[in-house]
Amino acid sequence: MTDTSDIPLLAIKDLTVEFKTRSGVVEALHEVGFEVHKREMVGVVGESGSGKSVTAYTVMGILDRAGRATGGSANFGGFEMIGARERDLRELRGREASMIFQSPRTALNPIRKVGAQIEDVLLQHTQVHHRDVKQKAIDLLAQVRILRPEQRYHAYPYELSGGMCQRVMIAIALACEPALLIADEPTTGLDVTTQKATMDIVRDLTSARNMAAILITHDLGLAARYCQRIVVMQSGEVVESAPTDVLFSDPQHPYTKKLIQATPRPDSRLEDLSDVAKDDERVSAATASTELEVEGEAPPLLEVRGLVKEYPLHETAERRRVMDRILRPNLTPSPSVFRAVDAIDFVVGSGESVGLVGESGCGKSTTSSMVTRLLDPTEGTILFDGEDIGAIPARKFARHPLRAAIQMVFQDPTESLNPRFSAFDAIAEPLRRLGAPMDRTSLAHTIEELATMVGLPTELLTRFPHQLSGGQKARVGIARAIALRPKLLILDEPTSALDVSVQAVVLLLLDRLRRELGMTYIFVSHDLNVVRLLCDRVIVMNEGRIVETGKASELLTNPKEDYTRALVEAIPHFGQSEGMPTLEGSVA
């Protein structure tokens, strides 16, 4: 399929970009170079800060004011993009080369109808006559497989789901039939099934139009599934570039090996990650592999029975329902409430690690909020250590003695830390509020102990969140959660905001802490591969109900329910058949 004999469509050579910051000039890209040929999809992978997006923005000429290309070239079909006049670039953008972005909801103008936004591009590049532009926009919506395109034409972005918005973005990008599409993390934040649907559309439409595409992603699995060639970037440089199968079967650069190693796969075990974390997390493969044999026979720590959470539907829907009842008494009334969680039962044994899995809107976060007692259930009981904590209002639970026994690690390590609290204060907060009274020195001692336990260097304790890296912030969040030695720790997507190599380290840390402190975990996640690494048992939820429950290893390799199977199959991964690369002490 890939035609490498002819001249490349896009040739980036020695591209160097500098950013002016308050602390001086920073080199964001250093002599980056790769080529993209017609009819091929090239993956650009790397962790945050590797410069993959900066490369794309520089080529497209939409870099921030602070950034400047200081050297190199980007030849696009004979046209030099670097240093080209803004007027020429504007002509080119959208017509010859276009982009789709991360977080499609914010990438669309929130107060403009999606149809109008597609038309803007068509009219700008005078692709169609005014008379036909609406029909063309509707056709495009149909091409990106949006149902009822005539109606959706009039929709505003907030009326569409994230996946739908990304399809609209694709329609905008492909409206003028460009030769190159750059997709910058197009599916980050979308559910796996939505991700698959979106990427399939991108692949099908680009290949149907003989287009070239660049897929920028942090997800090696995604790049492996869709790209013919992969470029690996690290801190502003290209470290390796190879055809996909070669890259995974025979990675050359240590960083590539590390990335591959750190990415959870359906067959990887926790100890596979430990090599990545060698320096950070001193967990030998031996300790990691000793499985705790806790299953059904463990005494239940948490028992959830008939748990329901209902939210009232929109006011007008309520009004309509009342009118219906008056005008058409024979009609069965439509429900006035939305059931986010619909009568679920489950048991978590003491010392067990249970994964709660499902797509957004399935009720997993609502369930975990109710178990954490941050949200009041509409019905049902939550028995914790034999006590019905569901009956205690969430408002009052903050002062309840059991508050210390149930703690939570939140999704976004940055957002969940008070920016005005130092790491020390963040960890001290629960101890001061709920712990036994202690004097200043013993508090300081306890906090240093906690920091050591989570692998946070104690000299970082005086720092504020913005002075810490993502992984360090995650450690602070974990230290805070375990400060009171809870029996039950609820982890709400604790690693989804982290780079894969950091994720590997944090997963190992969590696993070690569970063993050392004898905690019980409920691990809420959409990432089945991650869940499988950390959990003994998995609960799959969909539309507020439990679809399937079972041992992690069995359920994910051999799902019984169609929904679970669809979930498992949608996860992009690599190298199931090929022998995995070995790491011979070469990890940086």
Binding site for other proteins (CB under 8 A): 60, 62, 89-95, 98-99, 101, 103, 106-112, 120-121, 124-125, 156, 158-159, 169, 172-173, 314-316
Shortest gap between Cβ of 528 and other proteins (angstroms)?
29
- Nearer of residues 79 and 158 to other proteins, judged by Cβ: 158
Amino acid at 447: I
Query: How crowded is residue 61: how many other Cβ atoms within 10 Å of its Cβ?
Result: 20
Q: Give least dist CB 86 to other proteins, A.
A: 9
Strand partners, 76: 10, 79
Question: Which amino acid makes up residue 339?
Answer: R
Give 338 or 421: the residue with its C-beta nearer to other proteins. Answer: 338
CA distance 547 to 552: 14
Q: Which is nearer to other proteins, 59 or 247 (CB)?
A: 59
Q: How far is the CB of 162 from other proteins (least distance, A)?
A: 13
CB neighbour class for 252 (10 Å; exposed up to 12, middle 13-18, buried from 19): middle
| 57 vs 384 by CB, closer to other proteins | 57
We find the least distance from the C-beta atom of residue 319 to other proteins, in angstroms, to be 9
The least CB distance from residue 179 to other proteins, in Å, is 14
Measure Cα distances from 408 to 143, 241, 350, 491 in Å. Answer: 44, 41, 17, 6
Return phi, psi of residue 85, to 5°. -70, 145
Query: In the bound complex, what is the minimum distance in angstroms from residue 61's beta carbon to other proteins?
Result: 9
Closest CA to 76 of 16, 178, 8, 6: 8
Check: CB of residue 163 under 8 Å from CB of residue 197.
yes
SS3 assignment, position 585: coil
Rounded Cα–Cα distance for residues 215 and 234 (Å): 16
Query: For the stretch 349-365, what's the b/e string if a residue is b when 16 or more beta carbons lie within 10 angstroms of its beta carbon?
Result: bbbbbbbbbbbeebbbb
In the complex, the smallest distance separating the C-beta of residue 484 from other proteins, rounded to whole angstroms, is 35
> Taking the complex as a whole, how short is the minimal distance between the CB of residue 463 and other proteins, in angstroms?
27
User: Of the two residues 66 and 398, which places its CB atom closer to other proteins in the complex?
Assistant: 66
* Closest distance of CB 477 from other proteins, Å: 27
Per-residue CA distances from 471 to 260, 498, 564 (Å): 19, 7, 31
Q: Which is nearer to other proteins, 204 or 318 (CB)?
A: 318
C-alpha span between 523 and 582 (Å, rounded): 30
Nearer to other proteins by Cβ, of 158 and 449: the residue is 158
Q: How far apart are CA 473 and CA 12, in angstroms?
A: 36
The answer to whether the Cα torsion of 97, 188, 529, 234 is positive or negative is positive
Closest contact distance (angstroms) between CB of 14 and other proteins is 24
Closest CA to 73 of 62, 85, 81, 65: 81
**Whether the Cβ atoms of residue 544 and residue 339 lie closer than 8 Å to each other:** yes
Q: Name beta bridge partners: 524.
A: 356, 492
Minimum CB–partner distance for residue 432 and other proteins (Å):
36
Closer of 125 and 309 to other proteins (Cβ): 125
| Nearest residue (CB) to other proteins, 67 versus 455 | 67
Output 360 or 446, the one with its CB closest to other proteins: 360
Pick the closest to residue 96 from 63, 133, 127, 138 (CA basis).
127
Between 73 and 124, CB nearer to other proteins: 124
| Distance in angstroms (rounded) separating the CA atoms of residues 265 and 286 | 20
Q: How far is the CB of 236 from other proteins (least distance, A)?
A: 21
CB 126, min distance to other proteins, A: 11
CA dihedral 279, 282, 286, 292 (to 10 degrees): -130
- Select 93 or 218, whichever has its Cβ closest to other proteins: 93
Residue 422 CA to residue 479 CA, distance in Å, equals 13
Q: Token pair 């969680």 is at which residue?
A: 341
- Rounded to the nearest angstrom, the gap between the alpha carbon of residue 207 and the centroid of all alpha carbons in its chain is 27
Nearer to other proteins, 135 or 311 (CB): 311
Look-up of token digits 């002819």 = 6
Give the contacts of 556 (CB within 8 A, at least 6 positions apart): 266, 528, 531, 532, 538, 568
Q: How many Å apart are CA 45 and CA 222, to the nearest integer?
A: 10
What single-letter amino acid sits at 318? E
CB 362 to other proteins: min, Å:
20
Considering beta carbons, is residue 99 or 231 the nearer one to other proteins?
A: 99
